[in-house]
Structures are given as C-alpha cells and as structure tokens.
Amino acid sequence: MPKIVFIQPDGVSRSIDADAGQNLMDIATNHLVSGIVGDCGGCCSCATCHVYVDDAWAAKLVPADEMEQAMLEGVIDPQTGSRLGCQIQLSDALDGLVVRMPARQF
C-alpha cells in the first residue's frame, strides 16, 4: 500500500495511504485534498489535478504522453515536475511519493 505525501503551498503536508492501481487524482479527491479539483473525472481534459512531482520521484513515473503534455501547456505556473494527477497510476514502487500542490488551479 503506497503512502503519498501531499504538500500544500503553505508547506503543510498530509500523508495518505492509497491502494496500488488508483490514480493520484482519485486519491486526492476521495480524501478531500485541497487544491485538486478533478473536474473531468480523470479523462485528461481539464488539468485541474495539476501537481508538482518532487524531483526525487519524477524519473520513477511513467513519462507523460502527448495528451498530458498538451494539457500541461495550459496550466497556471508550470514547472519542471508538473504532471496531471489523473495520469499518475500508483504502484507499490511509488511508496513515499511526494507531490506539491500549485498555489492555484484554474
């Protein structure tokens, strides 16, 4: 069971135990993590689940496909670790994954 650490813009962190196979957006919305909206329900069509993946974890994720990259072009304040939570499938190998929330979504 991977544990995910969500860090808010003010530095407050929250750890959540998740089931492998879920995506990061579903975990965040199911646990009412502030800053993750998930308007499209995980269809990679709104970017309201934008997060910053910690540098130490970025290389452990499946790279963003063309659709995700296109959606990330429209996010507010994109950074090197920008990803869409709906496109990050959790596995036991991601136990301890750290993601930061943007100061604002759309």
Helix locations, 33-89, DSSP H: 55-58, 66-72
What does the pLDDT profile of the chain (106 residues) look like in tens digits? Answer: 899 999 999 999 999 999 999 999 999 999 999 989 888 888 898 999 999 999 999 999 999 999 999 999 999 999 999 999 999 999 999 999 999 999 987 5
pTM comes to: 0.92
Helices (H), 15-65: 24-30, 55-58
Given this model, what pLDDT does residue 104 score?
Answer: 80
